[in-house]
Amino acid sequence: MKEKPLILVTNDDGITAPGIRALVEVMREIGQVVVVAPDKPQSGQGHALTLNEPLRLEKRDVFDGIEAYSCSGTPVDCVKLAKNVVLKGKKIDLCVSGVNHGSNASINIIYSGTVSAAMEASFEGINSIGFSSLAYSHDADMEPAKHFIRPIADHVLKHGLTNCKLLNVNIPDLPTAKIQGMKVCRQAIAKWSEEYDIREDPMGKKYYWLTGKFVNFDKGTDTDVWALENGFVSIVPSQPDLTAFNAIDELKPLEETTFANKLG
């Protein structure tokens, strides 16, 4: 009989966040779970890694009977340490990250520590899933997310992923009974429109708080933002090649200008 699959769990909200607890609760039903997660919140860390400082790794007794470690670095550092130190030489069957408290749909995939951690595992050929809930608050109900995490993880463990190694999954902020189902989507074209809240410290020096508003430009009905707005769980198969293939021909003339434009 085949052993239980080895499942690496991480997140970006930190090892004590409710979202990762919900994820561990589902994963322990289907595999052997090891957790390596940040020791503090790391939202918005994108694919950042720690180059100029050493990392710390601490064994933690946070999830009953589950091997777990906190790491002083970013979500991506957690996955690199998990693969190369904690689980060195072992085959990781699945990496799941989250459940993030807040949306990682559309352009948020670029800023997201949660999805970047899963993406880092995907670079190693590991089937990986980032889970995020649009229920932002710390005490949000994780039951709707848990309801959909299980079938998605089961599907990936049973069928594998052939044409990509990463899924970006977002769950709407609705009670389970109100969720319409799951949609496989493309990433919507959108961006953040920022304002800075400018304040003065007691010494009279300015400081700036980032605030922003998500702006969706995409009218498509095949996008993750559309799915979420219409009550569906969104599943975007994702990959790390950023090449704009359709721009290559447009730029080819640049190859001819090299030596005609010497400086000085």
Q: Is 125 left (phi over 0), alpha (psi -120 to 50) or beta?
A: left
**3-state class of 57 per DSSP?**
strand
Per CB under 8 A, contacts with a copy of itself among 212-231 are none
Answer yes or no whether residue 1 interacts with a copy of itself by CB under 8 A: no
Q: Is 46 in the site for a copy of itself (CB under 8 A)?
A: yes
Letters for 103-142 (x = contact with a copy of itself by CB under 8 A, - = none) are: ----x-xxx----x--x---xx------------------
Residues ≥6 apart with Cβ < 8 Å to 25: 146
Q: Among 210, 221, 230, 231, which residue interacts with a copy of itself (rule: CB under 8 A)?
A: 210
Query: Is 250 one of the binding residues for a copy of itself (CB under 8 A)?
Result: yes
Q: How far is the CB of 257 from a copy of itself (least distance, A)?
A: 5
Cβ count near 151 (within 10 Å)? 11
Q: Which of residues 147-206 bind a copy of itself (CB under 8 A)?
A: 147-148, 150-152, 154-155, 159, 161-164, 166-168, 181-187, 189, 191-192, 194-196, 198-199, 205-206
Segment interacting with a copy of itself, rule: CB under 8 A, options 51-59, 60-68, 93-101, 131-139: 51-59
- Considering only 1-9, 38-46, 90-98, 126-134, which stretch makes contact with a copy of itself by CB under 8 A? 38-46
**Residue 131's closest CA among 142, 120, 123?**
142
- Residue that the structure tokens 């090892």 belong to: 15
Question: Does 28 contact a copy of itself by CB under 8 A?
Answer: no
Q: What is the 3-state secondary structure (H, E, C) of 62-105?
A: CCCCCEEEEECCCHHHHHHHHHHHHCCCCCCCEEEEEEEECCCC
Helix (H) or strand (E) holding 118: helix 113-123
The residue from 89, 202, 204, 253 that contacts a copy of itself (CB under 8 A) is: 253
